[in-house]
Amino acid sequence: MTIEAIYKTIKSKGNRLSRVRKAIIETLFESPCLLSTSEILSALKSRNIAPNRSTMYRELMFLSHNSIIIKNTICHKDYFELPTDHHHHLVCTNCNSIKKVVIGRHLQKQEKQLEKENGFTITGHSIEFYGICKNCRINSV
Ligand SMILES: [Zn+2]
Ligand SMILES: [Zn+2]
């Protein structure tokens, strides 16, 4: 998905593409994975856009409610990313680092099975694996 396609989706729903809104999408587009609220805020500052925290939070809520971006709460902290390439996360409970991982196709099979068994239509999922990362394991020895 291109960034223009994302802008188009927003406009087609009759929504404004404000400077802050555009900058948030650009920031997330350039990031391969989840960004925290403060990471987004500092990325915006480096673009000379400095919305206050509540304005930015309102924007993030608007974009996630409209399924333009994904909101993910990990260890009580909110993170955001674009749904452009589907993946999952390894979360270190020691240093709170998040690593992007891709799981094989057997997950899709499992989804099909779950839909069949429960008469349920799955529209998406979010999977996080919690544990201790390589760095923390090495440092704890
Ligand atoms: Zn991610
Ligand atoms: Zn760690």
pLDDT digit string (tens) for 59-116?
A: 999 999 999 999 999 989 999 999 988 899 999 999 999 999 998 888 889 999 999 9
Give the end-to-end CA distance of the chain in Å, rounded to a whole number.
43
**Ligand 2 centroid vs 95 CA: distance in angstroms?**
4
Return the ligand number nearest the Cα of 72: 1
Angle, CA 83 vertex, CA 47 and CA 35 arms, to 5°: 45
Which top CATH class is 86-141? Answer: alpha beta
Q: What is the mean pLDDT of residues 118-135?
A: 95
pLDDT digit string (tens) for 1-60?
A: 789 999 999 999 888 899 999 999 999 999 999 999 999 999 999 999 988 889 999 999
Q: What is the pLDDT of residue 104?
A: 80
Give domain limits for the chain.
1-83, 86-141
Which top CATH class is 1-83? Answer: mainly alpha
Closest by alpha carbon to 88, among 79, 75, 76, 98?
98
Q: What is the CA radius of gyration of the chain?
A: 17
Spatial contact of 45 and 75, defined as CB atoms under 8 Å apart: no
**Ligand 1 centroid vs 31 CA: distance in angstroms?**
9
Instruction: Report how far apart, in Å, the C-alpha atoms of 99 and of each of 56, 94, 118 are.
Output: 25, 13, 32
